[in-house]
Amino acid sequence: MAGSEFEHRGSWSGDPTVFHGEGGYWDAGAGVFRYVDMYTGDIVTLEGPDTTRTHLSALVAMMRGRRAGGYVVAVERGFRLLGEDFRPEQYVTAFDDGGLRMNEGSCDPAGRLYCGSMAYEASRGAGVLYRLDPDLRVHRALEGVSIPNGLVWIEGGHTALHADTMHREIRAYEVDPSTGEFGTSRIYVSIPEGHGAPDGMALDSEGCLWVAMWGGAAVHRYAPDGTLTEVLSLPVTNPTSCTFGGKDGSTLFVTTSKENADAAAEPLAGQVFTRRVDASGAPVHEFGG
């Protein structure tokens, strides 16, 4: 792979880290990398050497662009539409259980946004993968998830690859692309103990899957058949998401977390890491609403 090491990037002036970076997203229209500091409820924008924060709510889990302009974010218990200047617009409630929160998700080729919930106590099977349709109706797409994380679509939207961190596996779900409904599934990748657990994911233009390995201090690259082909090591234990960006789409951005990290042993935890790779990202779908 091109580039022998990751470079680290401070997140904002005065404090070079976030506590829990998540949901990396290359905003192609603006030409900047954005991600969230989940528990502070901030969107962080990284543009060259400069970073800025925009506070939205008590918690922000992930964000994507909207085809109509602006953005959509998953907040603690639902979804919020934002204008191009991050001005809050419509809010849509997904659930009202105070013991749960949104965690991670993405959009399918049809412009539907999926985001999974989980228990604050990380209880097994307590979460739901929700689907927000472009008409702003909310549906329960998948029941009984534990720590729902990375989600990408392959085979023209007929298959969804979804990571559940607690179970250390990525499953391939049959999907009806006309309705967005999930069907039967199979194990696509199972992670052996001691190698971390799958968190955020990105797809490249060759159909390979790149996975941030929480607890594994690495990003794994899997061939379309699920074979592990590359391990890119990081100097921090808990990477949380990865995505492609940059002018040619060949820079891999990785967000990380200070959660459960030893500050003395991992001074770079919470920073964003970048690395040039011999691949370019597949299109990242926008929300249709």
- The pLDDT value recorded for residue 9 is 64
What is the share, in percent, of the chain residues with pLDDT greater than 90? 91
- Amino acid at residue number 239: P
Quote the pTM value: 0.94
The mean per-residue pLDDT over the stretch 146-164 comes to: 97
The mean per-residue pLDDT over the stretch 115-137 comes to: 98
DSSP labels for 119-178?
Answer: ETT--TT-EEEEEE-TT--EEEEEEEESSEEEEEEEGGGTEEEEEEGGGTEEEEEEEETT
- The pLDDT value recorded for residue 7 is 75
The mean per-residue pLDDT over the stretch 7-14 comes to: 51
* Beta-sheet strand order (sheet of 21-27): 21-27, 32-37, 42-47, 50-55
- The pLDDT value recorded for residue 96 is 97
For 211, residues 6+ apart whose C-beta sits below 8 A from its C-beta are 150, 163, 170, 189, 198, 199, 200, 201, 219, 220, 221, 222, 242
The pLDDT confidence band at residue 101, using thresholds 50, 70 and 90, is very high
Contact predicate 125/138, CB 8 Å: no
Tens-place pLDDT, residues 29-62: 999 999 999 999 999 999 877 889 999 999 999 9
Specify which residues 231 forms β-bridges with: 220
Tens-place pLDDT, residues 183-240: 999 999 999 999 999 999 999 999 999 999 999 999 999 999 999 999 999 999 999 9
- The pLDDT value recorded for residue 13 is 33
- The pLDDT value recorded for residue 146 is 98
Q: Pairing relation of β-strands 169-176 and 159-164?
A: antiparallel
Helices and strands per DSSP (H, E), number in the chain: 0, 24
- The pLDDT value recorded for residue 1 is 45
The torsion region of residue 137 among left (phi > 0), alpha (psi -120 to 50) and beta comes to beta
- The pLDDT value recorded for residue 6 is 75
DSSP state of 191: P
- The pLDDT value recorded for residue 31 is 95
- The pLDDT value recorded for residue 4 is 53
- The pLDDT value recorded for residue 14 is 37
- The pLDDT value recorded for residue 62 is 98
- The pLDDT value recorded for residue 201 is 98
- pLDDT, the chain, mean: 94
- The pLDDT value recorded for residue 135 is 98
Tens-place pLDDT, residues 64-76: 999 999 999 999 9
